[in-house]
Amino acid sequence: MKDQGVRRYISWYEKTGDDFIDDEDLFGIKLDVLQKLFNVDKSNPMYDCWKIKGSHVAILQKHLKHIINIEKYDYFVEAESIDKT
């Protein structure tokens, strides 16, 4: 049996038109940190899509190469199931 994992990443979209631009994996950030950052219960696995606001940027930026620009794009923390092999 394969282990199931979760890929957590940010995705960004045009502010006008809502076209998808790109995504990038979040590395080195734990679920409990994201739960605290987005003020969600510890029982919530955060599989939904979470909009990144200005107050989130400083913490998330430490875990990305892409420079977050919330003036230019709309950003979201997302998750998807992956197989660990």
Contacts of 30 (CB under 8 A, 6+ apart): none
Residue 4 pLDDT: 56
What's the rounded Cα separation, in Å, for the pair 70 and 35? Answer: 21
Q: How many domains does the chain have?
A: 1
For residue 84, name the pLDDT band (cuts at 50, 70, 90).
low
- Report pLDDT digits (tens) over 19-52: 999 999 999 999 999 999 999 999 999 999 999 9
What's the rounded Cα separation, in Å, for the pair 54 and 41? Answer: 21
* Domain of residue 23, residue span: 3-84
Residue 67 has pLDDT above 90, yes or no: yes
Closest of 70, 66, 26, 65 to residue 51, by C-alpha: 70
58: domain CATH number is 3.10.50.20
Residue with tokens 């076209």: 19
Residue type, 73: Y
Residue 3 pLDDT: 38
